[in-house]
Chain A
Amino acid sequence: MAHSNEEIERLARLARLALPGNTVDAMRIHLDSMFGIIAQMQAVDTTNIEPMSHPQELAARLRDDAVTETDRRAAFQAVAPQAEAGLYLVPKVIE
């Protein structure tokens, strides 16, 4: 499958990735190469085959609705790029 540069740029926007303009061509070529490998699986007839997400067919486990965590906000915010007064700081989103 051949992708276009516009499509690569659209995917990068969806994935929130800033691609420098001069890398879009290289990315397109790599993705085309990847999808060249992936294409061979499209031809397989999988009618009536159930998709498999976990080899052991686990049902989601339920646990008691109890508090299990302690308050570690300070430890978690210590690794944030910018936090203040218990809040994560981000650029203003409302003018």
Chain B
Amino acid sequence: MSTAPLVDAPVSVLRRALDAKDISSVELATLFLERIEARDPALNAFITVERERTLAEARAADARIASGETGPLTGIPLAHKDVFCTEGLPTTCGSKMLSSFVSPYDAHVVALLKKAGAVSLGKTNMDEFAMGSSNETSYFGPARNPWKPGHVPGGSSGGSAAAVAARLAPIATGTDTGGSVRQPASFCGVTGIKPTYGLVSRYGLVAYASSLDQGGALGASAEDCALLLAAMAGFDARDSTSLDRPPENYAAALAAPPADASRPLAGLVIGLPREFFGDGMSGDIRAAIDAALVQYRALGAITREVDIPNARLAIPAYYVIAMAEASSNLSRFDGVRYGHRAAGFADLADMYCKSRGEGFGAEVQRRILAGTYVLSHGYYDAYYLQAQKLRRLIAGDFRRAFGECDLIAGPVSPVTAWALGAMSDDPAQMYLADIYTTPVNLAGLPGLSHPCGFDTGGLPVGLQLIGDYFSEARLLTAAHRFQQATGWHLRRPAPAA
């Protein structure tokens, strides 16, 4: 069989091809490895690819398929964000600090996907320690946007989003602390979901801000994300914030036929927060979002305005909490047990200071210092505690809004992917672009981004859907119905010259 269409195919088609023995997992992995070899030099979406290791996993998957022990992802290639620990394979977090770190164990998510028989193609580029919205803070250089390689792919899961958009991997894992799955998905024209906080174990996910960090899934469509997320979710006693809930079959929810096929979203009430539809977003994004909402209404959904009055406080509250938790979490990097150690030092304290000064990039250092400040004596109440109180106000706003609607829709980002370097002079300005994503993390809600159009420069625009706690199936189903009726998720960037 011709392999060309398989590169663009949904996971369900790859599944059928593998089960029908039209293609082996080794052949499928080889197909994607060759694409990575050919196209990644221009995109820098991957930090680590180990061909032989991938092929060994594919051979094991083929053996399982031959013996009939097949699950939804057995033999399916995927990529992992380089923040998930992988035993025996480098886990760098996009940092010099961990540039030669090889984890002695697998993250829970990595172990689950291995057990499911998925084949890892490698580790994807990211902002250093997931701190950034553009991928530009990576020690390994930024990943580039496949739609316009002079533009950023978004961040921090920019490598995963770029890899899926350029079809260097069918699906990829990511993490989302303040928008790090949804924003790059939006910038690269792919679909990405961050589930309810606590659904995906953080064990082996190198910590940035523990009360916000959450694993998520990126794919071309909601259908592909549903398969990946279902395999990533699940209780894990090793994560103290993991939620013990029965597993959900999102793919089955998507496959269930609607009562009225011509209006599959009949009865769904979509809330449009007034605060998300103000002057903040660019005209191109506004037009694409409005057109998507027209489509949702054509599918039977009803839209109504809702209020998230404290959304404007999300950016300061988010950055205070994230930086405080980062300064605490990153204190583990001391050059003693793992990570970079400076070559020359006077004494133990000097070794700590030099190892950390050399190992961390500028943005990570800024956040550690700001976090140290807000946690220091006399400032804790004014900053961290105040931010946690604002968190409750924002969560309360969403709770009230979900009394009036089933889902919330809005932009992911006020702008599309910017040119590399365009925001580097004032990192704080880049923080402001997280205005529509951070409220969702603060409240711990699930959020999804799906492609809904392009700006006048040809860069993708994403629509954000936000659901109540544990409404992943509803979010994915709504996006799936939209994608069954439209073709934005099928657009692919031309190969970079």
Interface of A toward B, CB cutoff 8 Å: 8, 11-20, 23, 27, 30-31, 33-42, 44, 46, 49-56, 58, 60-61, 63, 72, 75-76, 78-82, 88, 90-91, 93
Please tell me if the beta carbons of B354 and A53 are within 8 angstroms of each other in the complex.
no
| B387, CB-defined interface residue at 8 Å | yes
In addition to A33-B427, A37-B315, A55-B196, 19 A-B residue pairs with Cβ atoms within 8 Å of each other are: A11-B372, A12-B353, A14-B372, A19-B357, A31-B369, A34-B427, A37-B319, A38-B320, A39-B316, A41-B316, A44-B393, A46-B390, A51-B385, A51-B389, A56-B469, A88-B337, A91-B348, A91-B351, A93-B348
Please tell me if the beta carbons of A80 and B240 are within 8 angstroms of each other in the complex.
no
| B395, CB-defined interface residue at 8 Å | yes
Interface of B toward A, CB cutoff 8 Å: 101-105, 196-198, 211, 237, 240-241, 243, 312-313, 315-317, 319-320, 327, 331, 334-341, 345, 347-354, 356-358, 360, 362, 365-366, 368-370, 372-373, 376, 382-383, 385-393, 395, 426-428, 431-432, 443-445, 469
Cα A40 to Cα B313 with chains together (Å): 8
Q: Residue among A16, A44, A49, A91 with the most chain B CB within 10 A?
A: A16
Please tell me if the beta carbons of A55 and B389 are within 8 angstroms of each other in the complex.
no
Please tell me if the beta carbons of A56 and B338 are within 8 angstroms of each other in the complex.
no
Please tell me if the beta carbons of A15 and B101 are within 8 angstroms of each other in the complex.
no
Residues on A with C-beta less than 8 A from B426 are: 30, 33
Please tell me if the beta carbons of B469 and A46 are within 8 angstroms of each other in the complex.
no
A–B complex contacts, Cβ < 8 Å, 6 sampled:
A16-B349, A17-B356, A27-B369, A46-B389, A51-B385, A52-B389
Known: A54-B241, A55-B197. A34 touches B211 (CB 8 A): no
Known: A41-B387, A76-B104, A81-B336. A61 touches B348 (CB 8 A): no
Known: A34-B366, A38-B316. A76 touches B337 (CB 8 A): yes
Cα A12 to Cα B49 with chains together (Å): 36
B contact face: mostly helix, strand, loop, or mixed: helix
Cα A50 to Cα B427 with chains together (Å): 31
Please tell me if the beta carbons of A16 and B348 are within 8 angstroms of each other in the complex.
no
Residues on A with C-beta less than 8 A from B376 are: 11, 14
Residues on A with C-beta less than 8 A from B335 are: 81
Please tell me if the beta carbons of A55 and B444 are within 8 angstroms of each other in the complex.
yes
Please tell me if the beta carbons of B373 and A16 are within 8 angstroms of each other in the complex.
no
Please tell me if the beta carbons of B334 and A16 are within 8 angstroms of each other in the complex.
yes
Residues on A with C-beta less than 8 A from B389 are: 46, 49-52
Please tell me if the beta carbons of A41 and B317 are within 8 angstroms of each other in the complex.
yes
**CB < 8 Å: which of A8, A11, A42, A54 contacts B386?**
A42
| Closest beta carbon of chain B to A95's beta carbon, Å | 10
**CB < 8 Å: which of A33, A49, A75 contacts B392?**
A49
Known: A15-B372, A53-B388, A93-B348. A41 touches B338 (CB 8 A): no
| Closest beta carbon of chain A to B428's beta carbon, Å | 4
A contact face: mostly helix, strand, loop, or mixed: loop
Cα A18 to Cα B196 with chains together (Å): 38
Please tell me if the beta carbons of B336 and A90 are within 8 angstroms of each other in the complex.
yes
Cα A25 to Cα B388 with chains together (Å): 31
Cα A9 to Cα B334 with chains together (Å): 19
Residues on A with C-beta less than 8 A from B327 are: 15
**CB < 8 Å: which of A31, A41, A60, A78 contacts B370?**
A31
Cα A53 to Cα B315 with chains together (Å): 17
Please tell me if the beta carbons of B353 and A17 are within 8 angstroms of each other in the complex.
yes
Please tell me if the beta carbons of B428 and A30 are within 8 angstroms of each other in the complex.
yes
| Closest beta carbon of chain B to A3's beta carbon, Å | 8
| Closest beta carbon of chain B to A82's beta carbon, Å | 7
Please tell me if the beta carbons of B353 and A41 are within 8 angstroms of each other in the complex.
no
| Closest beta carbon of chain A to B75's beta carbon, Å | 29
Known: A17-B369, A41-B390. A30 touches B336 (CB 8 A): no
Cα A91 to Cα B373 with chains together (Å): 28
Cα A52 to Cα B392 with chains together (Å): 5
Residues on B with C-beta less than 8 A from A91 are: 345, 347-348, 351
Cα A2 to Cα B386 with chains together (Å): 20
Residues on B with C-beta less than 8 A from A33 are: 426-428
Please tell me if the beta carbons of B347 and A93 are within 8 angstroms of each other in the complex.
yes
Residues on A with C-beta less than 8 A from B427 are: 30, 33-34
Cα A14 to Cα B362 with chains together (Å): 17
Chain B residue with Cβ nearest A77: B337
3 nearest CB pairs, A to B: A55-B444, A18-B357, A51-B388
**CB < 8 Å: which of B237, B320, B360, B390 contacts A17?**
B360
